[in-house]
């Protein structure tokens, strides 16, 4: 009987009754093969662009090493073919050759290990269609002294050592650092109220910010609470007119049950001067009730925007002649009715003052005009 050989390792299986006196040599060779298979590190010298990694039956060979360290001086990317193609293999690869190394066994998939990288590969030994598979990408430096897992004091260093892409801010959320409002809202899905925001950031929100948040316009009292300013009685009274039928001395405006309005400190208004342009002058009832006009030319008056019919509008108008005694004249609106149907004549002397009063109750269809005083001095 003759010896046979283990399929994947090349270990010689001695047949019964053979190798009398020499079996020790075969056994020693087998033990050396086992040593290579379990812990052997083989320095594989590459040259050119191809290399055959063989496992020979009954003899020591490169293909039996557990760890393959590629070196040498290949001229370019080197294809290492695992031979024979019907043996299943597992290798730890260290590529120090200066070039990329392609591990191949058949027409199936290959594995490329770039220069300076490490890998663990599996050759399936499927014959002509054999494939090589990587158990993991580059393993270099994972637990090296320069990139170990012992330094976790710094989030940034930990991220680098672990090869993670999380930001330091994301790590801080987990390590006891207080998240900001935006991060809290992302976590709980709830938009924080103003009070919650103030607790978090120490800033008291303004009235405008509150109104944006709750859609409600704050009252005076709410404004005072927010801005720390106490409104005066007068300021509050502007917002709080008394109820009809009551009279309160502290109110700026009061009204009795009949709707009679009383102003606590009287009423004042602006004295409005009107001017002419191109011999035309307009008195707008919406601008006030006390007007004056200094003549600089002959002019025609227009009265505009009286109250609607059934309501009264009125005003006083002071007419002043120019200082040069030019004797300018005035043409009144046709709707003005005068006592005895005749408009009064203006005083023509220099700087003379005449005072008029007008009112209407039919929306300006008819104005009633009166000379209150002539040549006032």
Which one, of 139, 167, 140, 141, lies nearest residue 155 by Cα?
Answer: 167
Q: What are phi and psi of 340, to 5 degrees?
A: 65, 10
Q: Is 50 exposed, middle or buried (0-12, 13-18, 19+ CB in 10 A)?
A: middle
**Mean pLDDT, consecutive 10-residue segments, the chain of 377 residues?**
87 89 90 93 96 94 95 96 94 96 95 95 95 75 49 62 67 60 60 63 64 63 63 58 58 71 77 95 95 96 96 96 91 96 94 96 96 92
Residue with tokens 């800033």: 203
Domain-wise residue ranges, the chain: 4-136, 145-177, 194-227, 233-258, 272-373
Element spanning 122, H or E: strand 118-123
**Cis, peptide link before residue 84, omega less than 30° from 0:** yes
The pLDDT of residue 119 is 93
Angle at 55 between CA 51 and CA 61, to 5 degrees: 85
Q: Using CA atoms, how far apart are residues 342 and 330, in angstroms rounded to an integer?
A: 13
Count of CA atoms in the C-beta half-sphere (13 A) of 85: 17
Q: Using CA atoms, how far apart are residues 178 and 193, in angstroms rounded to an integer?
A: 18
DSSP state of 285: G
The pLDDT of residue 338 is 96
**pTM confidence score:** 0.40
Q: What are phi and psi of 21, to 5 degrees?
A: 80, -10
Structure tokens at 193: 């109220």
The pLDDT of residue 228 is 60
| β-strands 118-123, 89-95 pairing | antiparallel
Structure tokens at 144: 């090296």
Which one, of 18, 106, 98, lies nearest residue 58 by Cα?
Answer: 18
Q: At what angle do helices 207-214 and 220-227 cross, to 10 degrees?
A: 120
The pLDDT of residue 161 is 65
DSSP state of 246: B
DSSP state of 90: E
The pLDDT of residue 115 is 96
Distances (CA, A) of 75 to 49, 97, 105, 208: 6, 10, 21, 74
Residue with tokens 């270990």: 11
Q: What are phi and psi of 352, to 5 degrees?
A: -65, 145
């Amino acid at each position: 009987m003759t010896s046979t050989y283990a399929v994947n390792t090349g270990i010689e299986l001695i047949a019964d009754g053979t190798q009398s006196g020499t079996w020790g040599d075969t056994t020693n060779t087998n033990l050396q093969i086992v040593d290579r298979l379990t812990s052997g590190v083989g320095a594989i010298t590459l040259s050119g662009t191809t290399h055959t990694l063989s496992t020979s039956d009954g003899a020591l060979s490169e293909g039996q090493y557990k760890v393959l360290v590629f070196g040498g001086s290949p001229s370019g990317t080197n294809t290492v073919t695992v031979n024979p193609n019907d043996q299943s293999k597992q290798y730890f690869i260290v590529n120090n050759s200066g070039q990329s190394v392609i591990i191949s066994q058949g027409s199936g998939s290959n594995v490329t290990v770039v220069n300076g990288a490490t890998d663990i590969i599996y050759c399936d030994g499927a014959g002509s269609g054999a494939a090589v598979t990587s158990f993991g990408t580059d393993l270099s430096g994972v637990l090296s002294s320069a990139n170990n897992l012992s330094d976790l004091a710094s989030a940034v260093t930990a991220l680098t050592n672990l090869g993670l892409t999380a930001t330091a801010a994301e790590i801080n959320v987990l390590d006891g650092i207080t998240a900001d409002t935006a991060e809290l809202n992302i976590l709980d899905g709830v938009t924080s109220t103003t009070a919650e925001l103030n607790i978090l950031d120490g800033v008291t929100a303004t009235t405008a910010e509150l109104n944006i948040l709750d859609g409600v316009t704050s009252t005076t009292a709410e404004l005072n609470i927010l801005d720390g300013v106490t409104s005066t009685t007068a300021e509050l009274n502007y917002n709080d007119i008394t109820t009809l039928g009551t009279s309160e001395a502290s109110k700026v405006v009061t009204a009795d049950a009949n709707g009679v309005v009383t102003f606590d400190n009287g009423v004042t208004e602006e004295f409005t001067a009107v001017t002419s342009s191109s011999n035309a002058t307009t008195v707008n009832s919406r601008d006030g009730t006390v007007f004056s006009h200094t003549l600089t030319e002959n002019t025609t008056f227009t009265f505009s925007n009286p109250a609607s019919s059934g309501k009264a509008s009125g005003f006083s108008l002071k007419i002043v002649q120019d200082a040069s005694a030019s004797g300018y004249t005035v043409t009144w609106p046709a709707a003005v009715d005068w006592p005895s149907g005749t408009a009064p004549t203006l005083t023509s002397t220099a700087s003379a003052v005449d005072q008029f009063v007008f009112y209407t109750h039919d929306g300006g269809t008819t104005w009633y005009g009166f000379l209150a005083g002539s040549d006032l001095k």
